[in-house]
Amino acid sequence: MIVSRRLRLPALILSGLVGVAACTEVIQRLRPAIPKGGSDFESVVTSSADRGPGSLREAIFEANGAPERARIVIRAGTLSIRTPLPPLANPSGVTLEAIGETAAIDGSAVAVGPVLDVRGAGTIVRNVSITGARAVAISIGASGVLLDSVQVQDSGIG
C-alpha cells in the first residue's frame, strides 16, 4: 500500500508532462507562421514631423499602397504625432522598424483613437516606443502580428 502511494505522484507528474507535450504540438500546428521581415518596397522616415515628406504618416500611406509586403524604416528622432496615424493595412503586411536605437513616437497630442493601428495580417512592429497616448497606444486588428522590442509608456491603454 505504501509503495503504490509513492508511485501515484510520479505517475501523475509523468502523465501531466505527456499531456503538456501533446498540447504543445497541437498549439504549434494551429499558431500562424511568423512573418518574414523581407520586402521589395521600402520607405524611410527621416522627419519627426506629424505629416509631410519623410514623415511616418507619409510612409504608412506609401506602404499601404505598395503591391507587395512593405518595410518602413524609422531614422528620425522622436516622432511627434498630432492625430491618429492611418492604419498599417497592406494586405501583404508591413514591417515597421527602427534600426539601431529605439524610435520614440510621442502620442500625447492624439486625443482619440489609437496612435498606431495595425490591420494588415503578418505585420511586424520592431524597436518602437510609444509614449503619452491618451487613449490607445497600439490597436491590433489582424492575425499573425509580431511586436518585437515594443514599449508602451505613460499611456491610457497599451
Between CA 112 and CA 91 the distance in angstroms is 25
Residue 136 burial by Cβ neighbours in a 10 Å radius (0-12, 13-18, 19+)? buried
In this prediction, residue 42 carries a pLDDT of 93
| Burial profile 5-27: b = 16 or more Cβ within 10 angstroms, e = fewer | eeeeeeeeeeeeeeeeeeeeeee
Residue 124, C-alpha cell as written in the block:
511586424
In this prediction, residue 15 carries a pLDDT of 74
Using an 8 Å Cβ cutoff, are 130 and 116 in contact? Answer: yes
In this prediction, residue 29 carries a pLDDT of 56
Using an 8 Å Cβ cutoff, are 13 and 71 in contact? Answer: no
| This prediction's pTM | 0.75
pLDDT tens for each residue of the chain, 158 residues long? 455 666 777 777 767 667 666 666 665 555 544 455 556 789 999 999 999 999 999 999 999 999 999 999 999 889 999 988 999 999 999 999 998 888 999 999 998 889 999 999 999 999 999 999 988 999 999 999 999 999 999 887 76
